[in-house]
């Protein structure tokens, strides 16, 4: 593994590889090793030696950091100023059984977002500017360090979530937000998946700013908060903000939600632990190779999808993002075609195979196959950034 | 916005005025959003900004009007929603007035169009002719479906469809003007109008009763004619100014002999024009000042009543959908007064959605542009009916005629409801509809 | 008319076939959907960046995605440039045509197709105006968050093209953060869908790339956007300061304190006077700078936030504090602010800048802006989104005086360079368009620009789509 210490070194490495027609895998801490389609590359380049916060002015709520900076270092610096990454990046190590140190560049390259994503945006929504090296070894700057910026094409969005197939991030500039003064979670017990979808939709239609909405069916409930959630399925709704405001909103939310089922409340500490466990997909951090899907559909379609699948396959699942994000563990076969057929039938979305055994991974495309016109367009875009096709060819399809 | 006029062009005072208006426009496009024809047709050419640009191009190049420009100017309702919306204060009203005069002077319309416009200009402003025409129309109505099949004759069909099915009669015919009672609070002239007394004499009857009840002496001076709005909007400037001068003479005479606190108008379409007399006659030294005086005295009936501080009445359990005529809200900027009067009189008032959009009546528009007018009417009726009110109130006879042909809900002039609330008879139309 | 910015020369292959092209387009569109008479093309020659004008070859006003596809396919085949247009409210000249171009205007595609409250989405045709979405869902307790000042008139299609922001994006983000999916037509007429009611992309984030691409990558005909539950209440508060610096420092301190109001708007004295004359909103006229700070939520929450904000403002010697007492008053305060550009038309012609700067540079950039404009002998009014550093200096001039117009443009260029040099960017929400195209090299290196153009070529190899915009004309690949 190559670990260039400067951007110039990295550019040199890539330029040389491009000239030699040598393929490269790009990574940060490699905590998502095994993510995406199986690819063979001649060499791996890691950003881990490109480390350090370049600029952080808390009053501006903007941070610039080298891409290999450990996420933990960023989060510590932010916490010292009572600020945070609004999109709550998850830690993949648990479910993927990997080691290493997550980096900020990796977070953005994989567009990793957590429970707050459905209200506060994804990682890509916080990313303001980047420096990256394209497949020709050129250093490219895109975006900037201000929140509003529509100067030229938004290559920032394009690189976010490109999993190291379009360019090698060397520096990222992103927006941060103040940590809410307090948080509280309301638990509604005993709802089936369909009932939970209704309850969550009702909650999100209220003017109470719910910032987390997940449904934890019976099979996974005991895996959260060391099994201390009330009996029955748990539908959990998070409120955050000023203490005075949270208590008022909590009353309002509870008043409406009690029509759906018995209500319990979690305090700020329990709340923090619970949402971290949801974020990191705690129930499926099981040291197994059972196929694990991350599915994104319209919130109202989530439970229908799971119900339809259950009739034909062994499925365990729980929901985040008001029901629109489904973490789904298959007992044996990934059932990719079945799953993707149902997704199309229910109005569209996408399923990503996050984890599976090596054999399964070689047979099943990890990312949702795209319609021809979109796939061709994506291929042309890739060709424009990486003309020689040296960055992890085939990783994203 | 940049303009290109020569000094010679600017020597014409009308061109000079239009140039000033055009300079204010910053081409922001806000006006497109509230323009009824743009939201219906979705074409910049049928928006205020598009028309401003067409007019600018025509005037700058000193060109006679042509078919394209005329098509799009003709589609303008002159509802003036754009004037309310415009942040830059572009005086679209006087710009389009100028364009219409320019069209009338420089463009020869197709024969059918000329005939229909001539017919309207020679009928509507004259109550006697209007009454005769309506009688004819009742017999002609069965012809309407046949006329509709021929594009050029569609306006005739529209006219027949709009004519009421039975002749209207004043409930106070032969009784004269009621005497003011109690403490005398003012002396006003009331515009008798031309089309309105033929179509719905009950409106002014109600206004006269109501004013008398609150101590206002009302006169109807001899010699008053149509306000000129109908011909003014057709660009027939000479005829419009002739009407204006005659009315100015009549009211100035009344002002000088008996004194007038206001000239009361019960049709907001007429009110907008009379309030503009000062501007229309600004280039006539003999009339300029007198016309300005008349304009300053002109008051919509609700504007005047708002100054009388009418007593608050108990809730009636009657819900009113208030339709603000364009000439009321955009032309005269009277927005709150009619609704406040109705509320004070005990009515529950609801505002239909898209209240800024024209109902499609717009003077003779529903006759000359029946397709667009019909679409606007349907949209307006849908919004009004969604309020689930008992009755519609508005302040303009044109809207009343237009909306009545699209809904079963009773539609009344605001002053008819007020008269009823303050002791007058229950309005005939409300009774009929309520019974049926 | 200004001439400093060049357009691409008309293509001979197109100009020589003008009549044939119009005849062919007439085959593809119903008669009311094609404008080609010389007189009728004139109103399409510009948008809200009225300093530049070019007559188009024809204007297509399609009613369906299929018609858009047919026109694009035709134009692609014959190399006819296409300039997309929504409501023509662009302040950067994004919708200004060129002599060999067909304007593809989506104003007839203005239907709301679906409101889905369970998923909090609205699916609309591209010609739907921004405000009409919020109006359609308002009584059901929702709204669409991005609110450009022209929201009354501007269309969702145009908002996507320019990644429009607005006063309230401090909290809710700009268009790209609220856009879930599009149906769009690629340059060859192929119709694709990106995104939908679900979140995130399955492959590359093409949706993110489309947003803000200024009509260069294709034409969006339908969009699915995110709806948000309307807050219980919202309260704008006016803070008047004796000096702009105090107001600027106050903004930075509010943000630094960890409070994120939904909006922080700044007006200087000329802007206050202009807006007050139009809206009669009760802005204080005896101050040098005004902040409109809006908080939202429950009464308790608003009280708590306002208390902290007032304390901060007091530390900056705030002169007047006025809390808004009613919904009508709040509406007037926003009406005044949102009409600021148009209302400026009452006193002069103007061009509006759109640079964004880091918050800590606000006061510096304001002062420098005043110096620059003064050095050209012109006047400036400032009204902008202070919370996110998005400046809108309005440079006042006389459009009928060519020398004045040239000075205004030159001053504008200097201000935009200043924004970039201060660590910001050329445009926060209006787009590069034609206006800022030749300044792109001030912000980007040649390599950066070439990479952007290469990605552009993945969509439109032949530079058919809005080709005179965004990228400097010289040095194109």
**CATH number for position A38:** 3.30.465.10
Structure tokens at C39: 């007189």
- The verdict on a CB contact (< 8 Å) between B26 and C344 is yes
Contact C203 A371 (CB under 8 A): no
ipTM of the complex: 0.97
Q: Give the pLDDT of chain C (477 residues) as one tens digit per residue.
A: 778 899 999 999 999 999 999 999 999 999 999 999 999 999 999 999 999 999 999 999 999 999 999 999 999 999 999 999 999 999 999 999 999 999 999 999 999 999 999 999 999 999 999 999 999 999 999 999 999 999 999 999 999 999 999 888 888 999 999 999 999 999 999 999 999 999 998 899 999 999 999 999 999 999 999 999 999 888 999 999 999 889 988 998 888 887 889 999 999 999 999 999 888 889 999 999 999 999 998 888 888 889 999 999 999 999 999 988 888 888 889 888 888 888 898 889 999 999 999 988 988 999 999 999 999 999 999 998 888 899 999 999 999 999 999 999 999 999 999 999 999 999 999 999 999 999 999 999 999 999 999 999 999 999 999 999 999 999 886
Using H for helix, E for strand and C for coil, what is the string for A1-67? Answer: CECCCCHHHHHHHHHHHHHHCCCEEEECCCCCCCCCCCCCCCEEEECCCCCCEEEEECCCCEEEEEC
Percent of chain B residues topping a pLDDT of 70: 97
Q: Which residues of C touch A168 (CB under 8 A)?
A: none
Which chain B residues have any C-beta within 8 angstroms of a chain C C-beta?
1-3, 23-34, 38-39, 41-45, 49-50, 53-54, 57, 66, 68-69, 72, 85-90
Distance from CA of residue C364 to its chain's centroid? 24
Are residue A196 and residue A250 in the same domain, yes or no? yes
A167, A44: one domain: yes
Yes or no: say if B272 and B83 are a contact pair by the CB < 8 Å rule. no
**Which residues form the domain of B356?**
310-435
Q: The domain spanning residue A286 has which CATH number?
A: 3.30.70.340
For residue B77, the distance in angstroms to the closest alpha carbon of chain C comes to 19
Name which of A249, A171, A168, A266 is nearest A214 in CA terms: A266
**Could you give the percent of chain B with pLDDT greater than 90?**
82
Touching B (3+ Cβ pairs <8 A), the chains are C
Helix residue spans in C101-155 (DSSP H): 130-138
Distance, in angstroms, between A387 CA and closest chain C CA? 10
Mean pLDDT of B64-88: 96
The domains of chain C, with CATH numbers, are 12-105 (3.30.43.10), 112-229 (3.30.465.10), 233-341 (3.30.70.2190), 348-437 (3.30.70.2740)
Test the C interface: residue of B43, B86, B87, B356 with most C CBs within 10 Å: B87
Of C297, C443, C458, the CB nearest to A151: C443
Closest of C230, C229, C247 to residue C238, by C-alpha: C247
**Strand B411-413 relative to strand C34-35: parallel, antiparallel, unpaired?**
unpaired
Domain boundary among A279, A314, A336: A279
Residue A259 domain flag: yes
What would the two tokens of residue C62 be? 């399609």
Counting as contact any 3 or more CB pairs under 8 A, the partners of A are C
Chain C closest-CA separation from residue B385 CA (Å): 17
Which of C261, C273, C270, C341 lies closest to C301, judged by CA?
A: C261
| Residue given tokens 């959605």 in the structure block | B353
Contact A298/C186, CB-based, under 8 Å? no
Which candidate from C43, C47, C110 shows the least CB-CB separation from B42? C110
Rounded Cα gap, residues C110 and A241, in angstroms: 38
Phi-psi region of C466 (alpha: psi -120 to 50; beta: other; left: phi over 0): left
Q: Is the pLDDT of residue B133 over 90?
A: no
What is the tally of structural domains in chain A?
3
> Is the same domain home to A141 and A191?
no
For residues C182 and C210, what is the distance between their CA atoms, to the nearest angstrom?
9
Q: Do the Cβ atoms of A396 and C385 come within 8 Å? A: no
Residues of B in contact with C158 (CB under 8 A): none
Whether residues A73 and A198 share a domain: the answer is no
DSSP B378-411: HHHHHHHHTTT-SEEEES-HHHHHHHHTT-SS-E
CA distances B111 to B108, B151, B152, Å, are 9, 13, 9
Query: pLDDT tens digits, residue range A231-290?
Result: 999 999 999 998 888 998 999 999 999 999 999 999 999 999 999 999 999 999 999 999
**CA pair distance A248, C232, nearest whole angstrom:** 12
Q: Domain with B73 in it: what CATH number?
A: 1.10.1060.10
Chain C interface mutation, best of A153, A163, A301, highest count of C Cβ atoms under 10 Å: A153
Phi, psi of A272 (to 5 degrees): -60, -45
Please give the tally of structural domains in chain B.
2
Q: Are residues A200 and A266 in the same domain?
A: yes
- Give the Cα separation of C66 and C72 in Å (integer): 10
**Nearest CB to A144 within list C118, C305, C424:** C424
Among all chains, which residue has been given the structure tokens 């093409």?
Answer: C206
Contact C203 A148 (CB under 8 A): no
Based on the domain organization, do A63 and A141 belong to the same domain? yes
Question: Tell me, what CATH number does B355's domain have?
Answer: 3.40.50.11810
Q: Is residue A370 part of a domain?
A: no
Burial B250-263 (b: 16+ CB within 10 A, else e): bbbebbeeeebbbb
User: What CA–CA distance (Å, rounded) separates C382 from C266?
Assistant: 8
> Mutating which of C58, C281, C342 best tests the B interface, going by the most B Cβ atoms within 10 A?
C342
Does residue B375 belong to any structural domain of this protein? yes
Residues with Cβ within 8 Å of A392's Cβ and at least 6 positions away in sequence, in order, are A23, A24, A25, A26, A36, A39, A41, A163, A164, A165
Q: Which of B42, B74, B106 is the last residue of a domain?
A: B106
A14 plus A151 within the same structural domain? yes
CB contact under 8 A, C200 and A113: yes
Per the domain annotation, does A391 fall within a domain? no
A 10 A CB-CB count for B71 gives: 13
To the nearest whole Å, the CA of C47 is away from the closest chain B CA by 7
Does B198 fall in a domain? no
Residues of B in contact with C346 (CB under 8 A): 24, 87-89
The structure tokens 């689930």 sit at B388
Residue C402 forms contact with B (CB below 8 Å): no
Is A207 close to C427, i.e. CB distance below 8 A? no
CA proximity to A172, closest of A145, A147, A149, A137: A145
Answer whether residue A126 is part of any domain: yes
d(CA C355, CA C422) in angstroms, rounded, equals 10
Q: Which residue of C has its CA nearest to A296?
A: C198
The dihedral built from the CA positions of residue C152, C155, C158 and C163, taken in this order, carries a sign that is positive
| Touch B-C: 3+ C-beta pairs under 8 A | yes
State the maximum Cα–Cα separation within chain C, in Å, rounded to a whole number: 69
What b-and-e string marks burial along C383-398, b requiring 16 or more CB atoms within 10 Å of the CB? bbbbbbbbbbbbbbbe
The whole-angstrom distance between C439's CA and the closest CA on chain A is 10
Which of C165, C192, C448 is nearest residue A371 as measured by Cβ atoms? C192
Mutation site, B35, B43, B54, B375, interface C, largest C CB count within 10 A:
B43
Chains B and A touch (3+ CB pairs under 8 A): no
Total beta-carbon pairs less than 8 A apart between chain A and chain C: 275
Kindly tell me if the per-residue pLDDT of B435 is higher than 50. no
Contacts of B383 in chain C (CB under 8 A): none
Digitized pLDDT (tens) for each residue of chain A, 397 residues in all: 999 999 999 999 999 999 999 999 999 999 999 899 999 999 999 999 999 999 998 988 999 999 999 999 999 999 999 999 999 999 999 999 999 999 999 999 999 999 999 999 999 999 999 999 999 999 999 999 998 999 999 999 999 999 999 999 999 999 999 999 999 999 999 999 999 999 999 999 999 999 999 999 999 999 999 999 999 999 999 999 988 889 989 999 999 999 999 999 999 999 999 999 999 999 999 999 999 999 999 999 999 999 999 999 899 999 999 999 999 999 989 999 999 999 999 999 999 999 999 999 999 999 999 999 999 999 999 999 999 999 999 999 8
Query: What pLDDT, on the 0 to 100 scale, is given for residue C477?
Result: 64
User: A116 and A158: one domain?
Assistant: yes
User: Which CATH number characterizes residue A235's domain?
Assistant: 3.30.70.2190
Interface with chain A: mutation pick from C115, C183, C199, C450, highest number of A CBs within 10 Å? C199
Domain range enclosing A204:
182-279
Indicate whether A62 and A167 sit together in one domain: yes
User: CB–CB of B28 and C341 under 8 A?
Assistant: yes
How does pLDDT run across B107-130, given as a tens digit for each residue? Answer: 999 999 999 999 999 999 998 888
Q: Which chains form contacts with chain C, at 3 or more CB pairs under 8 Å?
A: A, B
Q: Map tokens 């190899």 to a residue.
A: C461
A169 with A189, same domain?
Answer: no
Decide which of B86, B106, B126 is a domain's last residue: B106
- Looking up tokens 């400046």, which residue turns up? C391
| Interatomic CA distance for residues C298 and C233, integer angstroms | 6
- Residues B419 and C308: their CA atoms lie apart, in Å, by 54
Q: Of the candidates B78, B106, B134, which is a domain's last residue? A: B106
């Amino acid at each position: 593994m190559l670990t260039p210490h400067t951007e110039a070194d990295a550019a040199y490495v890539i330029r040389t590889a491009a000239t030699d027609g040598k393929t490269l895998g790009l990574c940060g801490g490699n905590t998502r090793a095994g993510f995406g389609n199986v690819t063979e590359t001649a060499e791996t380049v890691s950003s881990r030696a490109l480390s350090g916060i370049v600029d952080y002015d808390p009053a501006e709520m903007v941070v610039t950091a080298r891409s290999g900076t450990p996420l933990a270092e960023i989060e510590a610096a932010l916490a010292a100023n009572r600020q945070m990454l609004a999109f709550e990046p998850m830690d993949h190590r648990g479910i993927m059984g990997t080691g290493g140190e997550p980096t900020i560049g990796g977070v953005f390259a994989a567009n990793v977002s957590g429970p707050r994503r459905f209200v506060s945006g994804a990682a890509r929504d916080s990313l303001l500017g980047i420096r990256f090296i394209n497949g020709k070894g050129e250093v490219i700057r895109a975006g900037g360090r201000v929140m509003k910026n529509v100067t030229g094409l938004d290559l920032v969005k394009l690189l976010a979530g490109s999993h190291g197939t379009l360019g090698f991030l060397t520096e990222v500039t992103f927006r941060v937000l103040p940590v809410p003064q307090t948080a509280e979670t309301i638990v509604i017990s005993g709802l089936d998946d369909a009932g939970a979808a209704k309850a969550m939709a009702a909650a999100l239609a209220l003017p109470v700013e719910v910032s987390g909405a997940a449904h934890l069916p019976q099979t996974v409930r005991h895996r959260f908060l060391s099994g201390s959630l009330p009996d029955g399925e748990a539908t959990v709704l998070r409120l955050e903000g000023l203490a005075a405001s949270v208590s008022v909103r909590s009353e309002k939310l509870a008043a409406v939600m009690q029509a759906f089922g018995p209500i319990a409340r979690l305090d700020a500490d329990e709340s923090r632990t619970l949402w971290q466990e949801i974020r990191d997909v705690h129930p499926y951090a099981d040291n197994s190779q059972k196929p694990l899907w991350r599915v994104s559909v319209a919130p109202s379609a989530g439970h229908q999808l799971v119900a339809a699948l259950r009739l034909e396959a062994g499925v365990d699942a729980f929901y985040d993002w008001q029901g629109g994000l489904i973490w789904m563990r298959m007992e044996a076969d990934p059932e990719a075609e079945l799953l993707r057929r149902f997704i199309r039938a229910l109005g569209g979305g996408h399923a990503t195979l996050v984890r599976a055994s090596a054999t399964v991974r070689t047979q099943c495309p990890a990312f949702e196959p795209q319609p021809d016109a979109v796939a061709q367009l994506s291929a042309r875009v890739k060709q424009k950034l990486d003309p020689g096709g040296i960055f992890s060819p085939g990783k994203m399809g | 916005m940049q303009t290109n006029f020569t000094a010679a062009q600017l020597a014409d005072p009308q061109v000079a005025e239009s140039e000033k208006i055009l300079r204010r426009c910053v081409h922001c496009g806000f006006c497109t959003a509230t323009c009824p024809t743009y939201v219906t047709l979705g074409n910049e050419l049928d928006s205020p900004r598009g028309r401003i640009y067409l007019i600018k191009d025509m005037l700058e190049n000193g060109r006679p009007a042509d078919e394209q420009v005329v098509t799009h100017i003709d589609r303008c309702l002159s509802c003036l929603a754009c004037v309310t919306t415009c942040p830059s204060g572009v005086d679209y009203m006087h710009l389009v007035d100028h364009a219409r005069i320019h069209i009338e002077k420089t463009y020869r319309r197709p024969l059918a169009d000329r005939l229909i416009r001539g017919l309207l200009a020679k009928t509507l402003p004259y109550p006697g002719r209007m009454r005769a025409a309506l009688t004819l129309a009742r017999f002609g109505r069965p012809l309407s479906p046949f006329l509709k099949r021929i594009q050029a004759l569609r306006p005739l069909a529209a006219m027949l469809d709009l004519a009421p099915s039975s002749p209207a009669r004043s409930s106070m015919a032969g009784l004269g003007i009621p005497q003011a009672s109690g403490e005398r609070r003012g002396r006003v002239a009331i515009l008798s109008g031309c089309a309105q007394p033929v179509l719905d004499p009950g409106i002014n009857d109600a206004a006269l009763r109501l004013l008398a009840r609150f101590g206002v002496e009302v006169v109807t001076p001899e010699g008053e004619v149509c306000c000129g709005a109908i011909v003014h909007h057709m660009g027939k400037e000479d005829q419009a100014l002739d009407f204006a001068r005659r009315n100015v003479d009549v009211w100035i005479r009344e002002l000088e002999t008996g004194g007038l606190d206001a000239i009361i108008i019960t049709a907001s379409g007429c009110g907008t024009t009379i309030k503009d007399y000062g501007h229309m006659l600004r280039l006539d030294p003999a009339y300029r000042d007198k016309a300005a005086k008349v304009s300053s005295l002109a008051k919509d009936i609700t504007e005047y009543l708002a100054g009388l501080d009418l007593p608050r009445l108990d809730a009636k359990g009657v819900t009113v959908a208030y339709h603000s005529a364009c000439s009321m809200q955009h032309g005269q900027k009277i927005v709150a007064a009619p609704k406040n009067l109705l509320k004070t009189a005990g009515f529950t008032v609801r505002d239909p959605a898209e209240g800024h959009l024209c109902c499609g009546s717009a003077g003779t528009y529903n006759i000359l542009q029946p397709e667009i007018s019909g679409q606007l009417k349907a949209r307006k009726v849908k919004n009004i009916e969604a309020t689930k009110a008992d009755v519609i109130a508005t302040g303009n006879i044109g809207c009343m005629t237009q909306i009545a042909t699209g809904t079963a809900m009773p539609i009344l002039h605001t002053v008819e409801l007020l008269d009823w609330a303050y002791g007058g008879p229950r309005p005939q139309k409300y009774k009929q509809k309520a019974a049926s | 008319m200004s001439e400093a910015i060049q357009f691409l020369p008309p293509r001979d292959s197109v100009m020589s076939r003008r009549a044939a092209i119009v005849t062919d387009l007439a085959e593809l569109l119903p008669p009311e959907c094609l404008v080609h008479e010389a007189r009728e093309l004139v109103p399409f020659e510009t948008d809200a960046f009225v300093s530049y004008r070019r007559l188009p070859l024809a204007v297509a006003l399609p009613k369906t995605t299929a018609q858009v596809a047919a026109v694009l396919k035709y134009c692609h085949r014959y190399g006819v440039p296409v300039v997309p247009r929504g409501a023509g409210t662009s302040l950067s000249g994004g919708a200004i045509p060129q002599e060999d171009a067909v304007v593809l205007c989506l104003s007839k595609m203005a239907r709301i197709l679906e409101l889905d409250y369970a998923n909090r989405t609205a699916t609309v045709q591209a010609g739907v105006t921004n405000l009409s979405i919020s109006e359609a869902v308002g009584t059901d307790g929702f709204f669409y968050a991005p609110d450009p000042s022209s929201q009354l008139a501007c269309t969702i299609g145009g908002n996507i093209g320019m990644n429009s922001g607005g006063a309230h994006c401090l909290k809710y983000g700009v268009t790209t953060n609220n856009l879930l999916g599009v149906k769009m037509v690629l340059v060859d007429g192929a119709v694709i869908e990106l995104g939908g009611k679900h979140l995130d992309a399955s492959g590359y984030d093409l949706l993110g790339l489309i947003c803000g691409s200024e009509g260069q990558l294709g034409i969006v005909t339908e969009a699915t956007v995110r709806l948000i539950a309307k807050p219980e209440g919202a309260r704008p508060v006016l803070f008047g300061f004796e000096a702009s610096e105090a107001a600027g420092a106050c903004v930075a301190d509010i943000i630094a304190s960890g409070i994120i109001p939904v909006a922080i708007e700044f007006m200087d004295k000329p802007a206050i006077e202009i807006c007050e004359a139009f809206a009669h909103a009760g802005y204080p006229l005896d101050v040098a700078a005004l902040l409109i700070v809006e908080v939202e939520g429950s009464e308790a929450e608003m009280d708590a936030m306002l208390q902290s904000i007032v304390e901060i403002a007091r530390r900056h010697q705030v002169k007047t504090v006025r809390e808004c007492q009613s919904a009508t008053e709040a509406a007037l305060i926003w009406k005044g602010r949102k009409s600021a550009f148009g209302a400026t038309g009452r006193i002069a012609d103007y061009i509006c800048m759109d640079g964004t700067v880091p918050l800590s540079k606000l006061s510096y950039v304001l002062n420098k802006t005043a110096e620059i404009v003064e050095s050209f002998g012109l006047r400036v009014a400032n009204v902008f989104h202070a919370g996110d550093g998005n400046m809108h200096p309005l440079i006042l001039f006389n459009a009928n005086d060519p020398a004045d117009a040239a000075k205004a443009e030159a001053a504008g260029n200097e201000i935009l360079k200043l924004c970039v040099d201060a660590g910001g960017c050329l445009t926060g929400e209006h787009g590069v368009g034609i206006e800022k195209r030749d300044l792109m090299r001030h912000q980007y290196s040649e390599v950066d620009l070439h990479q952007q153009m290469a990605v552009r070529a993945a969509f439109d190899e032949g530079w058919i789509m809005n080709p005179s915009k965004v990228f400097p004309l010289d040095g194109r690949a």
